[in-house]
Structures are given as C-alpha cells and as structure tokens.
C-alpha cells in the first residue's frame, strides 16, 4: 500500500468531534462542576425539567436554557443574577465555581457595585484583606456587554465565542463558561414589533425576523460554549390562574413571539411575595394593626421563584414542585436557609 493510500485510510478512520462535544466531555469529567449553578434549589428544578424532557433515543445533551419571567420590572430577577454571577466567578475556596460569567445587559441595569456586594456577602467568613483581593481577581471573569439595539445584540451573541477563545482579549481563557445571561430578552421587543408593523405596510418587504434570529443565536451560543443560558423577561399579557394547581399559583404565557415559548428548558416566575389584601369589612383599629404587620412583611424583602405552569401538564407541574424563596437585603441576596435567623 502506497503512502498516499495509507494516509487516506487513516484519515477516514479519524472521528470528527465538534468543539461543543469536547467542552461537554470536559464538563462531565470535571469534578469541580457538579451542578449547573451551585444553587441547589435551582439545580434541582433544572435537573427535573431535563429529566421530564429527556428523549427516548441517545442524543448529545444540550445545556439548559432558563427563563426568569416576572409580572413587572423590578421583581428580583437581576438580583438573582447577581447571586448566580458571584457563585460562578468566585474561587472554589470561597464557595464559588471558579468559572466565567457572561452578562449581556440589554436593559442597562446590571450594577457592578451590587455584584461586588453580593460577592462580599458570600465571602464574609474570610479575612477582609483576602476578601478584597479575591473579589478584585474574580471580577476579571465577569464579562458584561451593553448592546443598544437588536442588531447589536445579535452581533454580540454571534461574536461571543470568538471573543472568549481569544487569550489576548481577557483573563478567562483557561476557565469554563459558567453561564450566559441576557437581561432582558424583552429589551428591544417594542422596537422589533414596530419594525414588523412598518414592514407589513410595504408590499415588497418581508417581515423582519429579529426575534426569531435572536432565539436561534442564544441557543447556538449556549451550545457552542456548552454553557447554561439564562434570559429574563416580564409579562406583557393578562394573567390566568390554573385552578387545578391551587389558587396561589399563576401561569404566564410568553410575551415574546415564537419560538420563545418553547425555547427554555425551564420557565420560572420571579416575583415579590404578595401581601394579602385587607378585607372590606375590617375595622379601623384592626386595619392599623394589619397595616403595621404588612409593612414589616414588605421590609423583609421576600421574593419567590415559582415554576411557570403555562402549558405544563399537571404531572410535570407536580414533579417540578413549588420553587424557592429568597430575600433582598441591604447587604445582598440571601436565601431562606441562610437568612431566617437574621
């Protein structure tokens, strides 16, 4: 057999493996990444959702996509991201995952000082001087982007792998990507809707597909970087209750156009824990007492994360369970098991 024929035969035996497959193998074999976010109640919900959607045939697993939806802006979604980002970039010696966090701040509300506050809270048991040094180093692995339009957002997502795989651009080349967050996916919705309506008035113009492309770009970048994706949004539809799952559980239809309703692995609702309304027949003195109690409840800053039950079968909703609570305090975000005594 000639050298050329031997080379062709050997080349034919080489198995072609994509970058996403290599990264996934590394993640599965790396003992330092036993969970998606190192937040047990969230990781449990994600794993349950993955198990519910598990295909019958063996396929390459894809990173989960999580939606954080709230009834209105200012319901705690970004504060939850502060906690996830702090966990992602802090070293393992300080309770973190020693990875990289990518934050696409489309709303322009992501606060680095607030993130530092959350990191300091997680490192509170360490010496102050050590804590400051660790936080300063960890911040180098938080990559924030501020797109000003839907086209710039698409360009950011498309160029993200090239940026992260360039060792000359940043300090995170040797770290895994902990997660990618888009806060919020609804930032350019009304502009895109306006563009679509204008296009519909022109006979020879096809409707823009910006949000369809955005969904595809978000899913693809998560696959290429083998990283979980989190995107936030807020409800722009009327709210409907699911009577089969109790009066306090709400289901929110996606406000974003298709295919966003089917994009997430898990859809979550983040909201301030509601304070019950005063009954109509209540007396003045009792109303004053109730008002003081209600004010104390509001000052506790309690929020809840619930499974969004829109479109879920009853069996799936029951397996996923209720969710978890957290508090937003002056010193940062605390979860109920951490902050009950405070």
Residue 80 to residue 334: CA distance in whole angstroms: 10
**pLDDT tens profile 198-253:** 777 776 556 568 999 999 999 999 999 999 999 999 888 765 554 444 445 578 99
| Mean pLDDT of the 132-161 span | 96
The H or E element that residue 288 is part of is helix 284-299
| Mean pLDDT of the 98-110 span | 97
**Confidence class for position 178, pLDDT limits 50, 70, 90:** very high
Instruction: Check pLDDT > 60 for residue 289.
Output: no
Instruction: Check pLDDT > 60 for residue 34.
Output: no
Which DSSP string corresponds to 243-281? GGG-TT-EE---SSPTTTTTS-SEEEEEEEPPPPPPPTT
Q: Domains (ranges, CATH) in the chain? A: 18-269 (3.40.50)
Q: Is the peptide bond before 290 cis (omega within 30 degrees of 0)?
A: no
- Residue 164's nearest CA partner among 117, 104, 124 is 104
Instruction: Check pLDDT > 90 for residue 160.
Output: yes
Regarding pTM above 0.75, the answer is: yes
pLDDT score of 86: 98
What are the structure tokens assigned to 102, written together? 């990518």
Instruction: Check pLDDT > 70 for residue 281.
Output: no
Residue 92 to residue 99: CA distance in whole angstroms: 9
Instruction: Check pLDDT > 70 for residue 155.
Output: yes
Residue 31 to residue 10: CA distance in whole angstroms: 34
What is the pLDDT of the chain when averaged over all its residues?
82
- Residue 175's nearest CA partner among 90, 117, 83 is 90
Weakest-pLDDT range from 25-34, 108-117, 118-127, 195-204 = 25-34
Residue 42 to residue 67: CA distance in whole angstroms: 12
């Amino acid at each position: 057999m000639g050298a050329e024929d031997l080379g062709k035969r050997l080349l034919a035996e080489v198995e072609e493996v994509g970058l996403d497959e290599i990264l996934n193998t590394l993640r599965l074999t790396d003992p330092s990444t036993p969970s998606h976010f190192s937040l047990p109640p969230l990781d449990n919900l994600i794993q349950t959702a993955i198990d519910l959607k598990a295909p019958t045939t063996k396929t390459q697993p894809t990173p989960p996509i999580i939606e954080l939806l709230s009834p209105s802006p200012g319901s705690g979604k970004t504060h939850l991201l502060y906690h996830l980002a702090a966990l992602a970039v802090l070293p393992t010696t300080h309770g973190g995952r020693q990875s990289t966090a990518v934050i696409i701040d489309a709303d322009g509300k992501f606060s680095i000082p607030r993130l530092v506050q959350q990191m300091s809270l997680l490192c509170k048991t360490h010496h102050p001087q050590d804590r400051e040094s660790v936080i300063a180093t960890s911040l180098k692995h938080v990559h924030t982007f501020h797109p000003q339009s839907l086209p710039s957002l698409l360009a950011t997502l498309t160029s993200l792998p090239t940026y992260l795989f360039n060792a000359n651009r940043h300090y995170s080349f040797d770290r895994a990507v902990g997660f990618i967050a888009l806060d919020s996916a609804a930032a350019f919705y009304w502009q895109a809707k306006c563009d679509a309506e204008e296009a519909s008035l022109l006979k020879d113009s096809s409707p823009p597909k910006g949000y369809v492309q955005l969904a595809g770009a978000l899913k693809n970048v998560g696959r290429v970087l083998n990283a979980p994706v989190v995107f936030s949004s807020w409800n722009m539809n009327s709210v409907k209750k699911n009577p089969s799952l109790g009066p306090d559980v709400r289901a929110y239809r996606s406000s974003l156009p298709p295919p966003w309703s089917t994009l997430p692995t898990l859809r979550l609702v983040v909201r301030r824990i509601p304070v019950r309304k005063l009954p109509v027949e209540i007396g003045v003195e009792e109303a004053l007492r109730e008002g003081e109690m209600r004010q104390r409840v509001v000052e506790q800053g309690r929020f809840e994360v619930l499974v969004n039950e829109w479109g879920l079968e009853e069996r799936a909703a029951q397996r996923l369970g209720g969710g978890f609570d957290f508090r937003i305090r002056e010193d940062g975000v605390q979860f109920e098991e951490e902050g009950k005594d405070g």
